Amino acid sequence: MSVGRRRGMSLETKYVELCKGINGLDKIVLREVRGCSAEVYLYGGHVTSWKNEHGEELLFVSSKAIFNPPKTIRGGIPICFPQFSNLGSLEPHGFARARFWTIDNDPPPFPINSSNKAFIDLILKHSEEDVKIWPHRYEFRLRITLGPGGDLMLTSRIRNTNTDGKSFTFTFAYHTYFHVTDISEVRVEGLETLDYLDNLKNRERFTEQGDAIVFESEVDKVYLSTPTKIAILDHERKRTFELRKDGLPDAVVWNPWDKKAKTIPDLGDDEYKHMLCVEAACVENPITLKPGEEWRGRQELSAVPSSYCSGQLDPQRAFLSDKFGLA
């Protein structure tokens, strides 16, 4: 079934389609004219696929991923809310990624490029079950947009709808799993000289020393006060992922490497070689909202030939980011 073919569309591209995914779970497929696509499961509000115009998958999803609620899906872009990792009393990474979201047919207006046609608005609200473990009322609106050039944009808006006058506090992350050819041939630029918390050393604080981050063992770090742009260079594929973010000051970098991978039941023993998590996040300083207040956090992902990177960003893409206020 098509969800609202956008008005005035002369081409036969079905920009937004609701269909059944693995195990009969509802999913939305976003498509653009050039052939790029994205898939979003209503379970978890979870992006599980992002492909370029050549049909190449840009996100990693484990071959052992379990699409069977209440299990969470290993890979893609899990939404971590209202708790990142184990930094609180809730289940690790919170409950939003293990809830069924609904399509929001009447979202508030977004101050964003209205020429995008491939997008979906989802909403998650508190349930009586959730209130027992996290005693707050909220509305979480998520817009997922596939741009004409294949960029993938996620915008989260979280509002405190408590009626008892109470504020609430949360941490957040887009737990993005990038698909890489060989983790030992990948480097991350944009986090040099920054402070980070090392989760492998009891969250002790260190300062990054290298020119760029490379991978030769397990990594689990929260970089602090990070720039709005981070680049992930896949040398084997000659591809660079660009991550742009707004409202998310931290960046988590994670790869389990071989020993940890063997302990993760829904991850293949050797799959760590083909994944890297770089996560736009708000971890060090949690967000507090009073009743009626709203927080917004946004990330934009693009994949370009590596020649564009190391300061040589595509000027048109830079212009679009200026337009969105992310440059």
What is d(CA 48, CA 247) in angstroms, rounded to the nearest whole number? Answer: 23
Q: What is the model's pLDDT at position 313?
A: 42
Token digits for 263? 């302990």
Strand 102-103 relative to strand 79-80, pairing: unpaired
Percent of the chain whose predicted confidence (pLDDT) is above 90: 83
What is d(CA 41, CA 66) in angstroms, rounded to the nearest whole number? Answer: 13
Q: What is the model's pLDDT at position 107?
A: 86
What is d(CA 241, CA 74) in angstroms, rounded to the nearest whole number? Answer: 20
Q: Among the options 17, 32, 242, 279, which is catalytic?
A: 279
Q: What is the model's pLDDT at position 186?
A: 98
Q: What is the model's pLDDT at position 223?
A: 98
**Burial group, residue 44, by CB count within 10 angstroms (0-12, 13-18, 19+):** buried
Q: Reply yes or no on whether the pLDDT at 232 is more than 70.
A: yes
Q: What is the model's pLDDT at position 109?
A: 79
Q: Is 175 a catalytic residue?
A: yes
Token digits for 144? 């997922």
Strand 275-289 relative to strand 177-179, pairing: antiparallel
What is d(CA 242, CA 65) in angstroms, rounded to the nearest whole number? Answer: 25
| Interval 86-115 mean pLDDT | 87
pLDDT tens by residue, 9-22: 334 569 999 999 99
Q: What's the pLDDT band for 149 if we cut at 50, 70, 90?
A: very high
pLDDT tens by residue, 255-310: 999 999 999 999 999 999 999 999 999 999 999 999 999 999 999 999 998 875 44
Q: Among the options 46, 93, 136, 175, which is catalytic?
A: 175
Q: Is 54 a catalytic residue?
A: no
| Interval 163-192 mean pLDDT | 97
Q: Reply yes or no on whether the pLDDT at 160 is more than 70.
A: yes
Q: What's the pLDDT band for 326 if we cut at 50, 70, 90?
A: very low
Instruction: Please report how many Cα atoms fall inside a 13 Å half-sphere around the Cα of residue 124, on the Cβ side.
Output: 23
What single letter denotes the amino acid at residue 218? E
